[in-house]
Amino acid sequence: MTHTLYRLTITGREHIPDRGGALLVPNHVSFIDGLLLLATTDRRIRFLVDQQYYDHPLLNPFGKVMGAIPISSSGSPRAILQALREAGKALDQGELVCIFPEGQITRTGGLLPFRSGFTRIVKGRNIPVVPIYLDRVWGSIFSYVRGRFIAKWPTQIPYPITISVGTPVSSTSTAEELRLAVQELSEQTWQLRKSFCRPLHHSFVWAVRKHPFHFAFADLTRPRVSCLEALIGAIALARALRTSWHSQHTVGILLPPSVGGALTNIASTLSGRTTVNLNYTVGVKGLEAASKQAGLVTVTTSRVFLEKAKLELPAYLTPIYLEDIRKTIGTRAKITALLLGLFAPLRMLERCCGAITRPKSEDLGTIIFSSGSTGEPKGVMLSHFNLDSNVEGVAQLLHVDHRDKILGILPFFHSFGYLAALWFPIIHGAGVVYHPSPLDAGPIGELIHRYKVTVLLTTPTFLQLYVRRCTPEQFGSLRIVLTGAEKLPDRLVQAFEQRFGIRPIEGYGVTECAPVIAVNCPDYRAAGFFQPASRRGTVGQPLPGVSLRIVDPDTFDPLPGGEAGMLLVKGPNVMEGYLGREDLTAKAMHHGWYVTGDIAKLDEDGFLVITDRLSRFSKIGGEMVPHGRVEEILHEVAGAETMVMAVTGIPDERKGEQLVVVHTVDESTIPGLLEKLSNSGLPNLFIPKQDNFLKVDQLPILGTGKLDIRTLKKVAMEHLSSIQSAKKG
């Protein structure tokens, strides 16, 4: 039955022993997980089954035939121990036993915390414990996708599912160690998706053909664009740009978050080209550097945008103005685009849009230039597979559908803006309301209220503005407020929740990982159920298919759970490399793992805590002093709800480095702050000198909303130079 309704791919089957006892430990995603596991081996498997399902009149005869072992999590400790002893006896008799260590089918889409019941079964027994990962089961009709079991149509028949059987681990492994083994197995399994992966625009076209009249986009100039209108607009735009983009494999785009910007990005992808969204906050020199690295010849932009933003283009770039292109798109072009969008095979559609290659999943989808907060911007090459893996991983945890509207305020040159405000919503049915500037708190509040926006994706820097300038009524429709790019302070979480009645949650990512690595999501609550998908003080759990490792920054040896060290990431979302910089790519990778440069730790349930960036430490008197920790305490003693102080390090002849605090507060309050800082319990090395507090009009912030660390250090160094000059004078 499973091989008829499902197309099973099974890897690592040889890890299940042909004879003798073994404990199988898989993740639990659907009601048919047991049937899928039975298809992996000819041996009988004895499952530990929840008592309520074992006693069901329709299921009980099958349970008895299969030798299922009933267990009730709500039963008495004696009854639970009896079930675990029976499982142990089955192992002693040389049978295969399977326990789902999560204890429940996941309703969140993520890997739940592992319970320690399996350790009772294997205690005192030297038998193999076999981790197993069931992939692509989430989304099947027997999983909890879209908030229900069974009552939905299958997306395809036969439905593809991959089952990966891992190398057996020791029977003395802890629940935490076994969970990490299953998580690493998930990364290996997701890599196998490449053969099934479609280019991004293929997924977009299929989504539009399925629901052509759903809401897709809106902005201040276009109050409503349906999915079909978006597809027609993108096809017509791609066809109109064929001549201007002729023979160019990579095209530049200089547009803010808007309907026009979204359609231009889709159009370039439909035409088989690699998009480069240029950062319009870095000035003409920054534009020149990125354009030359990417080999751009043209840039698609808007006269109105250039005038309002007061932007100057590099002289060698030929501008293509959207206002001029729109005038060439008549009724006939729109009808042609409609027919192509609804009926043309995808390969024909690509050719009609001017594709010069036949796009595949491994081809580059975009090049995103890093913000340059700690050094020169680098071109991060992301393939369709990188981006698609991230889209699907986010969708599995952050459940959205056509009833949701996302506020698109992060620019497309920001990796999170490109993914979460463009491809993620249009592929999974959510609408996007665009606004060009995340700093316009007033208009943003009005847009959220008018369109009943349900998902706000932003950064803590921008969130601070909304706390001060938006009303609770405007944010009444929000159900998810997700922040990233920088640490979300507790004081801001409390201020936002107190004002708007909703708690912001935090995610984590880097451009090199397409970009999401981990994310907190709303917990699942129902009668008799609680499945945590978020944890305060963390950035959430890794996406499905993403594996994390905490290592010693010097030796790269893995560290035990709960201990802070360098964070490494491995998964299908990890970049193809840096554009034209094989040397930098080699430095960023360690045996297939991406080196984030962040210091982090994992708790016992797999939630990730980012403590600081390695570059945001100062070595003072031989001891590592974290800038983020000092900033946190400074804001705490100052009672500041928004970011008003930033810490950096500058050279010091005696101790190696010294701390400098760049701030915007009244200078008369500094002595009092220092006194409170001394009483806070911080070591003396962590406390900056009073002379090292430098007042500025505003803290340096990048266009992405991150603190500009490089400029911050430059300001501090100039301050040091002026002090030294004054002493010499």
Q: Is 410 exposed, middle or buried (0-12, 13-18, 19+ CB in 10 A)?
A: buried
| Known catalytic membership, residue 28 | yes
- The partner residues of 599 in beta bridges, in order of sequence, read 566, 612
For residues 301, 304, 309, 314, the Cα torsion angle rounded to the nearest 10 degrees is 40
Q: Provide the CA 715 distance to its chain's centre, in angstroms.
A: 32
Cβ–Cβ < 8 Å for 607, 535: yes
Which of 28, 384, 627, 663 is flagged as catalytic?
28
Residue bearing tokens 């010693």: 552
Backbone torsion region of residue 597, taken as left when φ is above 0, otherwise alpha when ψ lies between -120 and 50, otherwise beta: left
- Pair of tokens at residue 498: 């107190």
Q: Looking at residue 76, what DSSP letter applies?
A: -
Residue 373 makes CB contacts below 8 A (sequence gap 6+) with 702, 706, 707, 708, 709, 710
- Centre a 10 Å sphere on the Cβ of residue 654 and count the other Cβ atoms it contains: 7
Q: Which residues contact 168 (CB under 8 A, 6 or more apart)?
A: 15, 22, 128, 129, 130, 131
**Tokens 């701030």 sit at which residue?**
663
CA distance 379 to 377: 7
Q: Which residues pair with 658 in a beta bridge?
A: 650
Beta-carbon contacts of 131 under 8 Å, excluding residues fewer than 6 positions away, are 25, 26, 165, 166, 167, 168, 169, 178, 181, 182, 185
Nearest Cα neighbor of 595 from 484, 510, 516, 710 is: 510
Distance CA 183, CA 176 (A): 11
What positions carry a catalytic annotation? 28
